[in-house]
Amino acid sequence: MIQHLPYRHYAEMLWKNGQGVTHEVCRFPDAQPYDWRVSIATIRNDGPFSHFPGYLRNISVLEGEGMQLTIDGQQQAFIAPFQATDFNGDSDVFCAITGGPLLDFNVIYHAASVRAAVRWVNGGEWTHHEGTLLLFNAGDTLDVMVGAACYSLQHYDSLRIDAPARVAVRSHAESRLACVTLTRAETTN
């Protein structure tokens, strides 16, 4: 299944701690509790992040100069735009923003059942083998070829691919695309 997710349709919701607003790109399953969720959020001021016990998180800066996280009392490296950074949802996280309000890209996933990888690219060709591939366009309008079908993604639109597929994105100077791969975690006995 392939689903085009326009930015204008993202659901808006308050953060768990009530200190900000998130726009949900998509989640699986639709009901609570979810296995994974992808969203974008505006951070207007320095402050704590919500706790997500049992989940792992990945965050990237989309707009703004960057952020500095302090995780469980340990200051982390500065996070510049389009740099994917992982941390534990159980942790106490404080965020200090640089250069005014910023917009971030978030992937949160249940640690026991899902593996996630986030990478930022300008374009390319690859084969998606299993799980879900979410392409999030953080740049100018671009076309994504999935097999023989072409999908035009506007700024902050996404494309969700839930079947094996050959994917091609033509790059140009203003291309910026998050490739999020979500797969079932391997279980061992």
- Tokens, residue 109: 């996933």
Cis-peptide into 33, omega within 30 deg: yes
To the nearest whole percent, how much of the chain has pLDDT over 70?
97
Between residues 17 and 67, the one the model is more confident about: 67
pLDDT band, very low/low/confident/very high, at 188 (cuts 50, 70, 90): very low
> Is the Cα torsion angle 20, 91, 116, 123 positive or negative in sign?
positive
Residues 6+ away with beta carbon under 8 Å from 32? none
3-state secondary structure of 8: helix
Over the stretch 36-65, which tens digit does the pLDDT of each residue have? Answer: 999 999 998 999 998 999 999 999 999 999
List phi, psi (to 5°) of 9.
-100, 0
- Tokens, residue 66: 């960057």
Output the pLDDT for position 189: 40
> Rounded distance, CA 183 to CA 165, Å?
15
Output the pLDDT for position 158: 98
User: In the predicted model, what is the mean pLDDT of the chain?
Assistant: 92
Over the stretch 90-133, which tens digit does the pLDDT of each residue have? Answer: 999 999 999 888 999 999 999 899 999 999 999 999 999 999 99
This prediction's pTM: 0.93
